[in-house]
Amino acid sequence: MFTTGSKFLIGASVMALIATLVYGIGQGGVLGTVGLTSATVALIGLATLNALLRDSNVFSDDEAPVETSSAAQFSPPSSVWPLGFAFGSVVIAVGLISYQPIVVIGLVALVVTGGEWAVQAWAERASGNVEHNAAVRSRLSNPLEYPVGGAVAIGIIVFSFSRVMLWLSKTNTTIAFSVLAAVVLAIGFAIAYRPKMGAGAVGGVMAVGAVAVVAAGAITGLDGERDIPEFETTSIWQEEAILHPTEYAEGAEEGKHPAGLICESPEEFPEADERASETVASKSGSYQVFLTEDETLAFDVPGPIEEGPAGMVIPRSNPTNVIFRNESDEHRRLSIDFGTETLEVEGEDTEVRHQICTTLIEPGGAQLLTVEADLPTFSADGIVNPNGPGGEEGDGFWLFVPGVDTATLELIVP
């Protein structure tokens, strides 16, 4: 007969042995293997000793009191927690010598199984009645077990969903999950209209669904995410063109993207322009610039005053949100040219144009552009802006639409 104590030690020995083999073969490490082997040998020794001494319990081989002694009246049901606890300990040991993050799993296992074990041991002292003891245990543990268990389950499902979503393409994700949502809704209706449907059937459907989701998540997760290219913005393109002109020109020649500055180009640039219109809510507090149907720029600023035709005034050194609305029939972007600035380009101080712009916006679309002008307009007095309407009047800062010569609007910064 194996005594209680020796069972624990035998279990630990077996786990240690497995750990030794796994680690020894997997890692080929010397020091760790030596440690684990020593632990295994020590545990086997302890287990043997314990089995021989029968937990130092003189009564354990005395048959007589087994039926009559009060201790014999109630034997608690077998429990998985000690096993889990031992498992946790071994995982921690393995983690410590092989791969650190595993330690966390071991710790979690240790805390959870240790806690459960403690609660169960406590509940089993409540009475001699197994059912009553189970109820005592539940009363203490369930309020914690259900929410935590539920959260973990939801976490697993959400994580599985996310893996599937990242595996499918953007469009397919939308389709797949619309369909899934419809199915869930249909099942919900079915259950609601057939209240007599057996609990087993409902549970079965749920279980199948859960397994399917988790399985799909596991498979797609292992296969990895779809290609998610680095999100390129108009400002990154602008920066590339200015700071790395040689590389940029090569890229253009190879046809990877149009040539020239993006803010001066009516053409579509990869990635930045693919995401076109990020539709924005019209807020009363925002400045708005319209590309009208007859291809001119009009603007509307907060407050009801029709400001003079001179141009749109924004405060200096203050990020101002400007909504661009494309009311023309073409894909267009709104650009702003703040004159020149001096930057170090490939080791040399170079005069470059300071420009910002939206992405190409589809007809009817809109996008928010945050504009901050740190210099006043008069800093560019008398310097003709190539993106303005031309002529002497064309100095200062200008809003313009690449590809539409008629669309210019002066930006005035006091």
Partner 1 sequence: MRDSETGTSLNHVNLPNRRARTLKFAALATAGLFVAGCATNAPQDTTDPAGTNAQQIYDLSWPIFAIAGLVGVIVFGVLAFVIVRDRDRGQPIPEQTHGKPKLEIALTILPALILIGVAIPTVGVIMDLDDTSDTECVVNVTGQQWWWEFDYPVQDGCGGITEPIVTSGQMVIPADTNVLIRGTSRDVIHSFWIPRLNGKRDMVPGRVHNLRMQANEPGIYAGQCAEFCGLSHANMRMEVVALDDGDFETWKANQLEDYESPTSEAALRGETSFVTNCSRCHQIDGITDADGVPIVSRPDQQVYSGAAPNLTNLMTRNTFAGASWDLINQDYRDEVWEASPEEFGDLYLAGVTDDVFNEVDLREWLRNSPTKKPMYTDPLELEATDGLVRGMPYLALSEDQIDDLLAYLLERK
Residues in contact with partner 1 by the rule CB under 8 A: 283-287, 301-308, 310-311, 313, 315-319, 321, 374-376, 378-379, 381, 412, 414
CB of 398 to partner 1, least distance (A): 15
Residues 327 and 333: their CA atoms lie apart, in Å, by: 11
Residue whose tokens read 């750990």:
19
CB of 394 to partner 1, least distance (A): 17
Sign of CA dihedral 94, 98, 102, 108: positive
CB nearer partner 1, residue 270 or residue 414:
414
CB of 246 to partner 1, least distance (A): 30
Got the DSSP string for 138-178? HHHHHHHHHHHHHHHHHHHHHHHHHHHHHHS-HHHHHHHHH
Query: How many helical (H) and strand (E) elements, i.e. helices and strands, does the chain have?
Result: 10, 9
CB nearer partner 1, residue 106 or residue 339:
339
Q: Which run of H or of E encompasses 398?
A: strand 397-401
CB nearer partner 1, residue 243 or residue 301:
301
Residues 320 and 373: their CA atoms lie apart, in Å, by: 9
Q: Which residues contact 189 (CB under 8 A, 6 or more apart)?
A: none
CB of 364 to partner 1, least distance (A): 25
Nearest to 386 by CA among 373, 395, 374, 375: 395
Residues 176 and 163: their CA atoms lie apart, in Å, by: 13
CB nearer partner 1, residue 303 or residue 347:
303
Q: Hey, what are 240's tokens? A: 């590339």
Q: Hey, what are 346's tokens? A: 């490939």
CB nearer partner 1, residue 237 or residue 397:
397
Q: Hey, what are 360's tokens? A: 């190409």
404 beta partners? 401
CB of 301 to partner 1, least distance (A): 8
Between the alpha carbon of residue 69 and those of residues 61, 66, 158, the distances in Å are: 14, 6, 53
CB nearer partner 1, residue 311 or residue 402:
311
Q: Hey, what are 257's tokens? A: 């993207």
Nearest to 238 by CA among 257, 255, 261: 261
CB nearer partner 1, residue 70 or residue 284:
284
CB nearer partner 1, residue 285 or residue 391:
285
Residues 198 and 299: their CA atoms lie apart, in Å, by: 64
Residue whose tokens read 């890692």:
27
φ, ψ dihedrals at 145, nearest 5°: -60, -45
CB nearer partner 1, residue 15 or residue 373:
373
CB nearer partner 1, residue 160 or residue 358:
358
Between the alpha carbon of residue 355 and those of residues 49, 215, 217, 398, the distances in Å are: 82, 50, 45, 10
CB of 313 to partner 1, least distance (A): 4
Q: Which residues contact 80 (CB under 8 A, 6 or more apart)?
A: none
CB nearer partner 1, residue 334 or residue 373:
373
Q: Hey, what are 266's tokens? A: 């009516």
